[in-house]
Amino acid sequence: MVPPPLFLLCAGRLAASAEPDGSRTVGVVPPYQAQPAPPSWLRGASHCLAVVRSPHARHYVYEAYGDSRGQWLVRYLELPAAGERVGLIQQVFLFGSDPLQPPELPGAKDVQFRLREARCGGREFRLVDRRDLLLRAGPVPPPR
């Protein structure tokens, strides 16, 4: 589970906006949208947590999966350019239906992803939102 103080800091990102980090869709990965649409708070809350855990990611894929019980599995895949720092290549968050409840952090062995579905903790999730995003353009930071 995400530590409550960190999650409360991110809870301020619950308002809906185009993209919480000002990024834009690039289209390297084909975008996908289906029903049910994820709640408006999901993108902001999950993005805030992903950035805190991997602050150097500039190009990434955002995927949201929903289940029949109102739970949301969110995956971020970092797509680093040559010479960029690499943080966490994959981050996965399991959110409930309550936006103020901190998400769980399932382990890599607990989640299996397929083309438009995922399985986590014995539950099936369907892909409902996917796009690749690029943060502001600028020089690539030197590797450490």
| Structural contact between residues 67 and 43, judged by C-beta atoms closer than 8 angstroms | no
User: How many angstroms separate the Cα of 134 from the Cα of each of 27, 43, 47, 85?
Assistant: 10, 15, 13, 15
For the chain, give every domain's residue range.
4-134
Give the pLDDT score at 17. Answer: 44
Q: What is the mean pLDDT of residues 96-118?
A: 94
- Rounded CA separation 98/30 (Å): 29
Give residue-wise pLDDT tens across range 46-103.
988 988 888 888 889 999 999 999 999 999 999 888 888 887 889 999 999 999 999 9
- Name which of 138, 24, 21, 23 is nearest 81 in CA terms: 138
What mean pLDDT comes out for the span 106-120? 94
Report how far residue 34's alpha carbon sits from residue 130's, in angstroms, rounded to the nearest whole number.
9
Question: CB within 8 A of 103, min separation 6: which ones?
Answer: 1, 2, 7, 45, 46, 49, 74, 93, 94, 95, 96
